Amino acid sequence: MKKIEAVIKPFKLDDVKEALVQAGISGMTVSEVKGYGRQQGHTELYRGAEYVVDFLPKVKIEVVVRAEDVDNVVDTIVQAARTGKIGDGKVFVSDIEQVVRIRTGEKDEEAI
Amino acid sequence: MQINPADNVFILISTAFVLLMSMPALAIFYGGLTKVKSILNTIMMVGVAFSVVSFIWLAYGYSLSFSGDGAFIGNLKYLFLSGINPSDPAPAADNLYHYLFIFFQMTFAAITVALMAGAFVERMKFSAWLIITVLWATFVYFPVAHWIWGGGWLANLGTLDFAGGLVVHETSGLGALVGAIMLGKRKEAVMLPSSLPLVAIGTGLLWFGWFGFNGGSALGMSAQAVSAAFVTSIAAFIGGFVWMALEWIKFKKPTSLGFFTGIIAGLATITPASGFVDVGAGMIIGFLGAVVCFWAVVYVKNRFKYDDSLDVFGVHGVGGMVGALLLALLAKPEVAEVKGLFFGGSFTGLWHQIVGILAVGAYTIVLSFIIFKIVDKLVGLRVDKETESEGLDEAVHGEKAYQKEI
pLDDT tens figures, B276-291: 999 999 999 999 999 9
Give the model confidence (pLDDT) of B180-197 as tens digits: 999 999 999 999 999 999
Contacts of A54 in chain B (CB under 8 A): none
| B191/A51 touch (CB, cutoff 8 Å), yes or no | yes
Q: Quote the pLDDT of residue A68.
A: 93
CA distances B114 to A84, B4, B19, B53, B294, Å, are: 52, 32, 11, 9, 22
pTM: 0.91
State the average pLDDT for chain B.
97
Nearest CA in chain B to A50: B190
Chain CA centroid to CA B205, Å: 15
Q: Which of B35, B190, B249 to mutate to test the interface with A (most CBs of A within 10 A)?
A: B190
| A47/B302 touch (CB, cutoff 8 Å), yes or no | no
Q: Quote the pLDDT of residue B13.
A: 98
Q: Average pLDDT for residues B337-342, to the nearest whole number?
A: 94
Nearest CA in chain A to B293: A47
Inter-axis angle of helices B39-56 and B126-136, nearest 10? 30
The H-or-E segment that residue B112 falls in is helix B98-116
Contacts of A49 in chain B (CB under 8 A): 190-191, 302
- CA-CA distance, B377 to B369, in Å (whole number)? 12
| A47/B192 touch (CB, cutoff 8 Å), yes or no | no
Backbone angles phi, psi at A57, to 5 degrees: -70, 130
The number of residues making up chain A comes to 112
Give the model confidence (pLDDT) of B18-34 as tens digits: 999 999 999 999 999 99
| A46/B302 touch (CB, cutoff 8 Å), yes or no | no
Rg of chain A on CA atoms, in Å: 17
Q: Quote the pLDDT of residue B314.
A: 97
Which amino acid makes up residue B21?
M
Which amino acid makes up residue B289?
G
Residue B218's SS3 state is helix
Give the model confidence (pLDDT) of B189-218 as tens digits: 999 999 999 999 999 999 999 999 999 999
- CA-CA distance, B22 to B166, in Å (whole number)? 19
Task: Give CA angle at B100 (B96, B104), nearest 5°.
Answer: 115
| B258/A47 touch (CB, cutoff 8 Å), yes or no | yes
Size of interface A-B (CB pairs under 8 A): 29
**ipTM for the assembly:** 0.81
Does the pLDDT at position A54 exceed 90?
no
CA distances B18 to A96, B37, B103, B112, Å, are: 65, 28, 10, 11
| A48/B298 touch (CB, cutoff 8 Å), yes or no | yes
CA distances A51 to B20, B141, B188, B297, B363, Å, are: 32, 36, 11, 16, 36
Does the pLDDT at position B381 exceed 80?
yes
Which amino acid makes up residue B275?
G
Q: Annotate B262-323 with DSSP letters as a single string.
A: HHHHHHHHHGGGTTT--HHHHHHHHHHHHHHHHHIIIIIHHHH----TT-IIIIIIHHHHHH
Nearest CA in chain B to A44: B192
Structural domains in chain B plus CATH codes? 5-397 (1.10.3430.10)
Task: Give CA angle at A48 (A46, A50), nearest 5°.
Answer: 65
Residue A27's SS3 state is coil
Under 8 Å between Cβ of B123 and B183: yes
Q: Quote the pLDDT of residue B249.
A: 97
Q: Quote the pLDDT of residue B29.
A: 98
Chain A residues at the B interface, defined by Cβ less than 8 Å, are 45-49, 51
Which amino acid makes up residue B99?
Y
Backbone angles phi, psi at A101, to 5 degrees: -85, 120
Backbone angles phi, psi at A24, to 5 degrees: 90, 10
Q: Quote the pLDDT of residue B301.
A: 94
DSSP state of B341: G
Task: Give CA angle at A60 (A41, B194), nearest 5°.
Answer: 50
- CA-CA distance, B45 to B110, in Å (whole number)? 12
Instruction: Please state whether beta strands A56-65 and A49-53 pair in parallel, antiparallel, or not at all (unpaired).
Output: unpaired
Q: Which of B191, B294, B405 to mutate to test the interface with A (most CBs of A within 10 A)?
A: B191
DSSP state of B333: H
- CA-CA distance, A54 to B307, in Å (whole number)? 23
Under 8 Å between Cβ of B214 and B275: yes
- CA-CA distance, B72 to B56, in Å (whole number)? 19
Contacts of A45 in chain B (CB under 8 A): 247, 251, 253, 255
Contacts of B297 in chain A (CB under 8 A): 47-48
Q: Which of A47, A53, A54 to mutate to test the interface with B (most CBs of B within 10 A)?
A: A47
| B257/A51 touch (CB, cutoff 8 Å), yes or no | no
| B190/A48 touch (CB, cutoff 8 Å), yes or no | no
- CA-CA distance, B109 to B53, in Å (whole number)? 7
- CA-CA distance, B172 to B159, in Å (whole number)? 19
In sequence order, the 6+-apart residues with CB closer than 8 A to the CB of B241 are B259, B262
Q: Average pLDDT for residues B327-351, to the nearest whole number?
A: 95
DSSP state of B95: E
Q: Quote the pLDDT of residue B149.
A: 97
Which amino acid makes up residue B158?
G
Q: Which of B190, B250, B261 sits opposite A49 (nearest CB)?
A: B190
Residue A55's SS3 state is coil
Under 8 Å between Cβ of A62 and A29: yes
The more confidently predicted of residues B69 and B152 is B152
Contacts of A47 in chain B (CB under 8 A): 191, 257-258, 261, 297-298, 311
Nearest to B396 by CA among B121, B190, B134: B121
Does the pLDDT at position B108 exceed 90?
yes
Does the pLDDT at position B56 exceed 90?
yes
| A47/B190 touch (CB, cutoff 8 Å), yes or no | no
- The number of CA neighbours under 13 Å toward the Cβ of B224 is 21
Contacts of A48 in chain B (CB under 8 A): 247, 250-251, 297-298, 302
In sequence order, the 6+-apart residues with CB closer than 8 A to the CB of B203 are B29, B260, B263, B264
Does the pLDDT at position A93 exceed 90?
yes
Neighbours of B402 (CB within 10 A): 9
- CA-CA distance, B251 to A38, in Å (whole number)? 25
Chain CA centroid to CA B131, Å: 19
Bond before B5 cis per omega within 30 degrees? no
